[in-house]
Amino acid sequence: MSFVLQVLTTLFEKLNSVVSLDDDLIQAWNQFVKSALKYQIASSEVCDFLRQRICKFNIENTHKLLQPTTIFKMLTSHSSFLEVALSGNSEFSQAKTSLMQLLHSLVQRCDTSALQTADYHYLLAAYHATLSDADQCILQILLLYEANGVSTADCSPFLWGNTAVESYQARKNMGETLYRNPAPNKVLSCIDSEIMNNTLREFPIRRRLITLQQLREEPTKNQHYIEEVSDLRLTPRYDPQFLLSVFSTMLVPENLVDCRSFLRQGALSFLLLSLSSHCPMIRNLAAGCLARYYDLAEPLWFSEKNLTLYLLRCVRNAAQIEKGSFKKISTIMALYLSKMAEIMMQPAEHIYFALNRFLLVKPGLDLRHVPEFYVLFFSTDMEYKTERSWMLDLMAQGTRDMGDYHVTQSRQLLRILMTYYASPTSDNKTRAQVLQVLERCCAIRGAAFDLIFNHGLLPWLLNVVTQQNDSTATRDGGSDVSKRQDPTSGVVAIFKSLWCALDPERTHNVALVDEKQTPDTGISRSGNIPSVVSHSEEVEDIVADEQEEVSTIGVTRDFPKRFTPVSLRLARQLTNLSLELLSNLLRVSGADSAEFKRFDLSSDAVKPFIDVLHVLTLMFAYLRDKYGDDVIGSDVRISDRQAKVLFHVGELLEHNHADGIINCALVLLCWKHVGRSCLSTNPLQIITWTMRTIVTSQYIGKILGESVLWFKNWIKVLGETKDEPLADDHKVAVQRLLLQVSEFLCFNSSDITNFEDLYMLLLEATKCVGNLPVPAMPENETFRHLALSVTLDNQRKHLMSECLKSSHL
């Protein structure tokens, strides 16, 4: 099917330039659309193809084609339409997304008379109110219906998911006469506790609320409509736009709302957390819902009423209004208030008393600092570990943007955590949580700059990694001092987040370096970069209101051009850290030097190796493009010990068939010979392994010239080294490797543009080997005949023959 669709795609690209089509071709296309919808409605490929091609003809007699309105009716009346649309997370999930995208495209183009109020029922039944692609398409379809004047009065209150399916079935069985709309409290039964917990843990703070006017002005633009989150499908979360709209219509004075159930289901926590959104319209809508909830709960009675209303009064008194909108509060503070509302239903929890003590002792809320950090982190209570762990979880979950980072740094909290990490009173769980807090901070671009340049993060991380190998280091204060957990996996996560924040691909819009300066230009001697911290966050492509983001984090415009995201000094620090991480990962894996070629690793154990090597490869590629090839060898040099680590990692990954093996070889290409002290006892084993890995990889065509030149230089150095003679079997390995490279050049000569240059390099390399005393090798007439029989011009055949002669074949 995919091949057929590729052929049809090519055909219709050509048809777009045709002025008119004959009737036979039009009839064939119409028949294809009918057959595709009839038999392949559950195919995501077919739905995507139809969506891309169905409304893009540029011909005169397009009126003879099936119109979008007709296709829309055919699609919605199909017997399998509801099965696919209501599939949820079943095997049709991808098909559902493609089907909804096709439906959205048709609704944009079909006549408004085809849009009926009854369509709301199956759309809401298929909707799960999350940020997934399918749900975003359905929400836009619902908004398009409303923008086209289709009434939503019969759908109030808005139910979704399985609850909407039950309501739809009841309406269908009982009829319009006997059926009554469900009570407003029925909305709360639609909330899934797991999805709500995910939403409270990772609230989409940059989600923008789109109005009907914006939808009419930009009916086809939806890029800004969905928050760009990489793990969106792995952690489903509720959409604030839909949920806040539903709560707003639910919390009206004429409705009898169960306020206790509203609190128990996490809806009140959701409203409090919405106050940290970057979109002012979402904050205003959430504040309005909180005010309505307060008015509805005041005359009622339930056990948590007094504390809940007192919490809302404190929030109201501490709130600030700027330019007619509710001023954003930090995510850490909003999450604290959300957890406080959530803990109202759990009075048996120890943290219940600590949070209520904070609420009742002080006359007002301080929204500018991390609440109760010193009280909970340095608690003297018998349950001090519980309180400390709770506070660290709050900081890890609540640090989402630069404003949150400023809140944590206003009282030097990260310095306290980094100092506490090395304390003998810290335990394994607390140290892991400290690393999680740092990981979340490093994911913020401005915070990553500040931590590196002003707080010595990289030397601190290097000390954490190397201290694990120190037998005299302070151990865990628990009962078993020998079970101090290795922090390497946590540091790998921080290392990966750092590169994602410093990645030049993200910062390409900022002129961070003066082009006239030398490559050695690094940070200033003062080390202060407040404008870097601010401006780096300003240029981030965000979804929420841009002016609101600027006013929230306090951006300054004066931005110096003397800083670079990845300077040579920073690259050296990152390189040393990454190679120490690989060394620790080797140690943690349990394999010794004799077992690297046959030691099995699980997929979870392989992933940290691949992550570190991937970041290291990207960083070196950037440095090559920015400063040239020679800079890495002279300024960011890989030592002999580090080369051994990379070699052993490559052997381990090669045995486990991991994809990161080529990254090991690419990094080893940066291992330059600088003085004889750099030579190991037997560097040839590393060199030949690197070259063999590159030759057998799929990237050889791109890096063959560089690798052959690197190989030639090393062979030349080894040939001139008299103090460390090479073993005969290693010399033989070199010759066989050169033959392998020659073989590749023979069979891929037509794909390589610099064929002659590569052969000249190879010839020089083989002559270097020829200068070494080599034992007699068996004649390989088969290879000689094969290589020389390839159809080559005389010059290339001569070069090939010279290579074979120099290789003693």
> Rounded to a whole number, what is the distance in angstroms from the first to the last CA of the chain?
51
Residue 32, pLDDT > 50, answer yes
pLDDT of residue 772: 46
pLDDT digits (tens, 9 = 90+) for 303-339: 999 999 999 999 998 888 887 788 999 999 999 999 9
* Cα–Cα dist 157/172, whole Å: 17
- Residue found under tokens 């029989």: 789
Residue 700, pLDDT > 80, answer no
The more confidently predicted of residues 669 and 220 is 669
Residue 196, pLDDT > 80, answer yes
Mean per-residue pLDDT, 352-361:
86
Long-range Cβ contact pairs of 546-549 (< 8 A, separation 24 or more): 548/278, 548/279, 548/280, 548/328, 549/278
Residue 786, pLDDT > 80, answer no
Q: In whole angstroms, how far apart are CA 136 and each of 44, 238, 753?
A: 17, 11, 48
pLDDT of residue 391: 95
Q: Of 147-151, 211-215, 265-269, 450-454, where does mean pLDDT reach its minimum?
A: 211-215
pLDDT of residue 645: 86
Confidence grade of residue 785 (pLDDT, cut at 50, 70, 90): very low
Pull the structure tokens for residue 443: 């994911």
The more confidently predicted of residues 482 and 47 is 47
Query: How is the chain split into domains, by residue range?
Result: 1-114
Whether 384 contacts 424, CB under 8 Å: no
Phi-psi region of 88 (alpha: psi -120 to 50; beta: other; left: phi over 0): left
Residue 14, pLDDT > 60, answer no
* Cα–Cα dist 716/722, whole Å: 12
* Cα–Cα dist 110/74, whole Å: 12
Handedness of CA 447, 531, 623, 462 (dihedral sign): negative
Pull the structure tokens for residue 99: 């089907």
User: Half-sphere exposure (CA, 13 Å, Cβ side) for 719?
Assistant: 19
Whether 200 contacts 338, CB under 8 Å: yes
* Cα–Cα dist 337/367, whole Å: 10
Residue 673, pLDDT > 80, answer no
* Cα–Cα dist 674/634, whole Å: 8
The more confidently predicted of residues 425 and 340 is 340
Mean per-residue pLDDT, 604-614:
88
Q: Which residues contact 334 (CB under 8 A, 6 or more apart)?
A: 203, 272, 273, 274, 275, 276, 398
The more confidently predicted of residues 761 and 71 is 71
pLDDT of residue 2: 59
Mean per-residue pLDDT, 705-723:
68
The more confidently predicted of residues 389 and 741 is 389
pLDDT of residue 692: 75
Confidence grade of residue 152 (pLDDT, cut at 50, 70, 90): confident
pLDDT digits (tens, 9 = 90+) for 425-469: 888 899 999 999 999 999 998 899 899 989 999 999 999 988 766
Whether 447 contacts 533, CB under 8 Å: yes
pLDDT of residue 5: 60
Mean per-residue pLDDT, 720-746:
60
Residue 560, pLDDT > 80, answer no
Q: In whole angstroms, how far apart are CA 738 and each of 419, 734, 757, 770?
A: 53, 6, 15, 12
Residue 672, pLDDT > 80, answer no
> What residues pair up with 699 in beta bridges, in sequence order?
none
Residue 300, pLDDT > 50, answer yes
Whether 774 contacts 762, CB under 8 Å: no
Whether 302 contacts 309, CB under 8 Å: no
* Cα–Cα dist 346/619, whole Å: 48
Confidence grade of residue 732 (pLDDT, cut at 50, 70, 90): low
Q: Of 467-471, 582-586, 800-804, where does mean pLDDT reach its minimum?
A: 800-804
Mean per-residue pLDDT, 648-664:
81
* Cα–Cα dist 542/227, whole Å: 9
pLDDT of residue 197: 94
Mean per-residue pLDDT, 647-658:
82
Whether 158 contacts 249, CB under 8 Å: yes
Per the prediction, the chain carries an average pLDDT of: 75
pLDDT of residue 554: 37
pLDDT of residue 239: 93
pLDDT of residue 504: 65
Whether 395 contacts 447, CB under 8 Å: no
Residue 582: closest CA among 623, 611, 604, 617: 611
Mean per-residue pLDDT, 174-184:
75
Confidence grade of residue 526 (pLDDT, cut at 50, 70, 90): very low
* Cα–Cα dist 277/290, whole Å: 15
Residue 736, pLDDT > 90, answer no
Q: Which residues contact 200 (CB under 8 A, 6 or more apart)?
A: 266, 269, 270, 273, 335, 338, 342
pLDDT digits (tens, 9 = 90+) for 111-133: 888 888 888 888 999 999 999 88
Residue 563, pLDDT > 50, answer no
Pull the structure tokens for residue 480: 């078993």
Pull the structure tokens for residue 626: 């920015």
pLDDT of residue 475: 46
pTM metric for this prediction: 0.81
pLDDT of residue 618: 87
Mean per-residue pLDDT, 379-408:
92
The more confidently predicted of residues 108 and 20 is 108
* Cα–Cα dist 23/184, whole Å: 55
pLDDT digits (tens, 9 = 90+) for 488-520: 889 999 999 998 888 766 543 332 222 233 223
Phi-psi region of 161 (alpha: psi -120 to 50; beta: other; left: phi over 0): left
The more confidently predicted of residues 180 and 797 is 180
Alpha helices of 509-638 — where are they, by DSSP H?
530-538, 546-553, 568-589, 603-627, 629-635
The more confidently predicted of residues 361 and 18 is 361
Whether 377 contacts 330, CB under 8 Å: no
Element (H, E) at 326: strand 325-326
Residue 481, pLDDT > 50, answer no
Whether 645 contacts 583, CB under 8 Å: yes
Instruction: Classify residue 182 by its DSSP letter.
Output: P
Q: Of 177-181, 457-461, 535-539, 789-793, where does mean pLDDT reach its minimum?
A: 535-539
Residue 684: closest CA among 615, 736, 609, 620: 736
